[in-house]
Every structure is written in C-alpha cells, then in structure tokens.
C-alpha cells in the first residue's frame, strides 16, 4: 500500500529542517532572570542593586531536537565556584559538578563546556582568569596544574611546576593588567606564585605565618588597574593587599561572627572606586569594605531567594562595575550593580588598614 502523499511531504520537510539546522551555527545566551528590585542598603542611599541571576545557558536558534521535543539542550550550571569576565564580555565559570568550564562569548553567541585540557580531563577546577588578549587560564586543585587556553579555547599548555618544585594545590588566580603577570595561590605551600602569561615561572611570594606578607592557606585572588594584589588569607581569617607602588603589605579582618569578621572568607574583588568585596561562605553573604578596610555593609543572607546565598564562593567585578557572585549550592551566578561613590583614593594608604 502506498504511503499518503502528506506523510512523504512531512518527511521531506523534516529532512530539510534537519539539514538547515545542521548547517546553521548554534547561538546561545545566558538565561538571566530578575524577579524583583532589591537594594543594599534600602532607600535612596542604595549602593548595591540586585540585577538578576544566571542558572543556565540556552540556544537562541532552536535545534531540530528542540523543535520536535520542546526541550532545550541548554547548559545548566551545577556547582559554580569561580567566574571571570574577559575582553568583549567573555564569561568563564568553573563548575565542579560538571568538572569543566562554561565558556560563553557574546560576540558570536557561542557557548561550550570545556572538560578536557589536551588529553587530560579536568578534575576539580577552582580558579579562572582571562588575560587582556582573551587567553583563558584555569587552576585545577586535584590535577595540581594551571591550564592555559588561547582566545579560541584551544589548549596550549599545562603548568605543573614552579621553579622545579611541583604545584601542591593551585586555587585562586588573577591576571594583573598592570604588570601583565599571572598570580596563583598555592594553598598547600602557603605562597603566591608569579608566572608570565606563557606560564613561565617568575617568583614566589610569602611563606606560612601570620605576619604581613605571610599566609595560612591563601585561596582567592584579585588585582586592580594600579597593580595592587588582593588575597584571601583564609586560615588567618583576613584579607591582605600587596601595594604595587611601595611593595608593602596591608591587611584587615579577624576571626569571629560579627560584622566585618571572617569565618570562611573566599572570593575577593575590588571595584573601580577601591571598594573591596569578600564572599563569606559560612555567613552566606558578601561583606563590603572601604579602601581602608573599614566594614561598610553586607549583601545577602542564607536562602535561595533573590539576593540570598547558600555558601557563596568565587566572585568577580567587571569593567562596568557589575558584581558576579558564585552562589555555589543554589547552582547559580547572582548579579549586582555597584553604585558606590568614589571612595577617595582607589588604593589603600599605608598604615590605614587594621593590622
């Protein structure tokens, strides 16, 4: 028995759609949701404004499978621990449950999850950073390596040593736009390691201790346009700042459960006005300090509603003064617009932070 002509017509149409879908490049975008307006502090003195959240990436041009089933093949964020924004708005998110890096480029709306560095799989990605050319750097604390990718996400190199000694637990990473160097926390060595953008070892900073310039399990890092380095000195329960101009150290914070104290500090960043932001995992908030280390306010509380956190970790502040926070166990990135006024000098002055 002959098949109905309508059946043949539908079959040909589906085949044509499949061919077109296969040829067309997939376009993606982050799914950004904003359900309400929230400010800290509330009222006309607002300094931090909730801007939404990202929990997944999805295709903007539907594939054939999406057209037939109605289901997107989007990339869900499962356990984000670090985020970086690079040139042109490129976004990299270290996701430990995916054992990979979400990489999104808004210029061509491309998206992928990088799970391999050459022939080696990521195990526990902890830190991500872009340099000013768009090259991507990833630290993996289980592989004990820094992995380098070019601006097209092609794997270039793995770095597993510093001056002939193996990396022991690389965690935080930042590209310093002032001196064009990479700074990496080696948590188990209680040091900050300095590399060229090619992965060539340059220097070690610090040793274990509680004096200025010494560390006790350092983790997250950030830097500013003046070349100053910001370090979460986690088990000393403080933040340290290495001032580039004078090569001197400033520090603030202490162990406790009050405002401005630390219990488990993680991500650290500084905005364009010198205001410092630190994710406090056990308090489920982001604590904010002026450029002298004086506590200003906290953003967030425990929960899953907008502006609430469940063990936040890494954070990043982009050139537009937008704060991105890895809300790790809520499986999302929360976004905040920073409305801070100029805080005088963008760099803390020597002797003006608590020691």
What pLDDT band is residue 69 in, cutting at 50, 70 and 90?
A: very low
Length of the chain: 355
What pLDDT band is residue 70 in, cutting at 50, 70 and 90?
A: very low
Q: For a pLDDT cut of 70, what percent of the chain falls above it?
A: 85
Asked whether residue 63 carries a pLDDT value surpassing 60, the answer given is no
Enter the tokens of residue 21: 């879908």
Mean pLDDT of 49-59: 94
What pLDDT band is residue 65 in, cutting at 50, 70 and 90?
A: very low
The pLDDT, as a whole number, for residue 354 is: 36
The pLDDT, as a whole number, for residue 32 is: 82
**How far apart, in whole angstroms, are the C-alpha atoms of residue 141 and residue 243?**
27
Residues 6+ apart with CB under 8 A from 350: 243, 246, 248, 250
What pLDDT band is residue 353 in, cutting at 50, 70 and 90?
A: very low
**How far apart, in whole angstroms, are the C-alpha atoms of residue 343 and residue 321?**
14
Side-chain-facing half-sphere of 176: CA atoms under 13 Å: 22
Higher pLDDT pick, 31 / 263: 263
The pLDDT, as a whole number, for residue 36 is: 85
Strand, coil or helix: 296: strand
Residues 17-26: tens digit of each pLDDT: 544 444 556 7
Asked whether residue 71 carries a pLDDT value surpassing 60, the answer given is no
The pLDDT, as a whole number, for residue 263 is: 97
Residues 281-329: tens digit of each pLDDT: 999 999 999 988 999 999 999 999 999 999 999 999 999 999 999 999 9
The pLDDT, as a whole number, for residue 26 is: 77
Residues 186-233: tens digit of each pLDDT: 999 999 999 999 999 999 999 999 999 999 999 999 999 999 999 999
In sequence order, what DSSP letters do the residues of 244-290 get, joined into one string?
TTTTEEEEE--BSSSTT-BSSEEEEEE-TTS-EEEEETTTTEEEEE-
Average pLDDT, the chain: 89
pTM surpassing 0.85? yes
Enter the tokens of residue 49: 């404004």
Residues 95-106: tens digit of each pLDDT: 999 999 999 999
């Amino acid at each position: 028995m002959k098949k109905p002509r309508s059946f043949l017509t539908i079959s040909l149409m589906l085949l044509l759609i499949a061919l077109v879908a296969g040829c067309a490049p997939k376009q993606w975008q982050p799914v950004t949701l904003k359900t309400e307006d929230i400010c800290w502090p509330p009222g006309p003195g607002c300094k931090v404004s909730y801007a939404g959240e990202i929990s997944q990436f999805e295709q903007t041009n539907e594939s054939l499978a999406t057209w037939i089933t109605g289901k997107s093949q989007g990339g869900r964020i499962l356990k984000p621990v670090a985020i970086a924004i690079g040139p042109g708005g490129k976004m990299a998110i270290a996701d430990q449950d995916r054992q990979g890096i979400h990489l999104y480029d808004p210029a061509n709306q491309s998206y992928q999850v990088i799970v391999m560095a050459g022939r080696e799989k990521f195990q526990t990605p902890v830190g991500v950073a872009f340099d000013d050319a768009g090259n991507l750097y990833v630290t993996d604390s289980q592989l004990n390596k820094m992995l380098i990718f070019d601006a097209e996400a092609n794997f270039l190199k793995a770095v597993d040593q510093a001056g002939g000694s193996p990396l022991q637990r690389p965690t935080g990473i930042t590209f310093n736009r002032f001196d064009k160097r990479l700074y990496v926390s080696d948590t188990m060595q209680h040091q900050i390691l300095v590399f060229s953008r090619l992965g060539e070892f340059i220097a070690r900073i610090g040793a274990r201790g509680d004096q200025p310039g010494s560390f006790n399990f350092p983790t997250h890092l950030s830097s500013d346009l003046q070349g100053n380095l910001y370090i979460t000195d986690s088990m000393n329960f403080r933040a340290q700042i290495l001032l580039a101009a004078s090569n001197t150290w400033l520090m603030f914070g202490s162990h406790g459960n009050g405002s401005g104290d630390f219990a488990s500090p993680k991500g650290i960043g500084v905005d364009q006005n010198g205001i410092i932001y630190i994710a406090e995992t056990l308090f489920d908030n982001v604590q904010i300090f002026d450029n002298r280390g004086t506590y200003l306010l906290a953003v967030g509380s425990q929960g899953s509603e907008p502006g609430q956190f469940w063990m936040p970790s890494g954070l990043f502040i982009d050139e537009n003064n937008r704060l991105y926070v890895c809300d790790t166990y809520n499986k999302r990135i929360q976004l905040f617009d920073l409305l801070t006024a100029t805080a005088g000098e963008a760099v803390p002055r020597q002797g003006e932070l608590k020691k």
